[in-house]
Structure 1
Amino acid sequence: MVEIKTPEQIAKMREAGLVVAAVHEATRAAAVPGATTKDLDEVARKVLDDHGAKSNFLGYGGFPATICTSVNQVVVHGIPDETTVLKDGDIISIDAGAIIDGWHGDAAYTAFVGTGHAPELVELSRVTEESMWAGLAAMKAGNRLVDISKAVESYIRRQPRPATGKYGIIEEYGGHGIGSQMHMDPHVLNYVERRRGRGPKLVPGMCLAIEPMVSLGTPRTRTLEDEWTVETIDGSWSSHWEHSIALTEQGPLVLTAVDGGKAKLAEYGVTIAPDPAA
């Protein structure tokens, strides 16, 4: 069953989404050479505390931290610790969430640590982020779930191949419904799998987290002994971007973007819904 939200519930999710945006801003500033991933977790924890919000990651299935910090070849679910020290030239994907009055927000971004990053890494992050926005722009009443998957995959496939030869769209993980829980139906693939069909219709009140993960090599991954950290099996570096979005009677609203997605969705000819936080 797909949970359908009322306008009042979406307004609460917008509050949670703006807290996630604040966590992103603070952790991005703190992701500098010499910082540990534990340092970033402490920054995120303080932002949540300052906003009276709870982490929806801490304790989820036993996860031991406030955020996920995935460095270089780590795709998702990296656990912050005191021994992972960020170095000049690293990339890090930070996944964060927040709960306000029982309603969830969830978003991720890839940041560049220091300077001197190879052009293919910069392009990897750009392609991953833009494929996310293509998927968000497909969140329209009358579309079906597969239209989001198709938009994400099509954007990536249209891009010039990197020097490594290909972009690997990670298949084991994808987006999800979000609302009174962090992970809910439906599962949102970042590619089209024909046997799954077209999926449910997108209707007002539906909220999704859209999150492509792309590597500079294989789409295949493995989970490390900590039972959380997921990395590419060939060691290729990867990028992860995510936003939570609501579909309302007046159109979409990107719940975890400061401007509600107004600027980026305008590039796709999409006008966002009125922002309850405005």
Structure 2
Amino acid sequence: MKRKAVCRIFSLCCAVIFALMLTGCDPTAGAIKYEVIYPSGDNRDCYTYDEKSPIEGSSCYLQWEKADDYKKTYDYDMHILDENGSVLYSYPDVGSKAMRGSVQEEGKTWVCAEHWTAPHHNGYVEGWLEESDLLLIDLSDGEILFQDKAGENEFYIASNETRCYFYVPGKEESEKLFGLIKIPAENAAIYYRDTLDWTQKHAFYTFDYVTEPDIDTSDGVETRIRFYISENQLQVAWTSYEPVDNENWEYLEKKAYEISLTPNDSE
């Protein structure tokens, strides 16, 4: 009996160690995932690996291609394709494997090329966004009307006129100098940069949480923030991938925030 008990304890310990080893193989395990959903129904998430992606509001596509010097620089070129797949315009060294585009007005299109570092995913994992390239392109002639960068973990959502809106996760309270200096926590927020003064971050909306709202995700295996984009409106929905019966799993919405992107509606 004693021998069986020892063997059982040993087996349980081995199972725990094996599970920890599997988790350790993926440093993104348990991280919050992002998903962007456009009015057309097109979406982008960490499992999207398509070589080309539609430009919302047009019949054109974005396509990435390894640059000629990719082996040295790891850069990608960006192409804009017409509805037949022919190249309309090419932009060297500004592309990425995670690109999104959306027409604003009169053919002017915002393009975001995101540079993620999350292993085992094509981006869209919170905390793993290195930087992004933002370009405003005139689809009628391919001219770049504006170009600049967004920094680490500044997740581009949408644009309205000269404003580009970003989601930034909150930061837990921290300390410096062995606890002598306490840095207060920061709630998650949405802010915007304006093309007229890109270096400035303007506060727009502050959420009621730091890392996540008060929701129950204990039955889920993945927590995902869904950004539903519509004209001048944004819905930020927290979901959990959970079983709904013995066979099916779904992303169940736990909490949602309705946010107007009209310039005068900021908090």
Q: Answer yes or no: same fold by TM over 0.5.
A: no
TM-score, normalising length: structure 1 = 0.27
Kindly name which structure, 1 or 2, has the bigger radius of gyration based on alpha carbons: 2
Kindly indicate which of the two structures has a greater share of residues assigned to helix: 1
Asked which structure has the greater RCO (Cα within 8 Å, sep 6+), the reply is 1
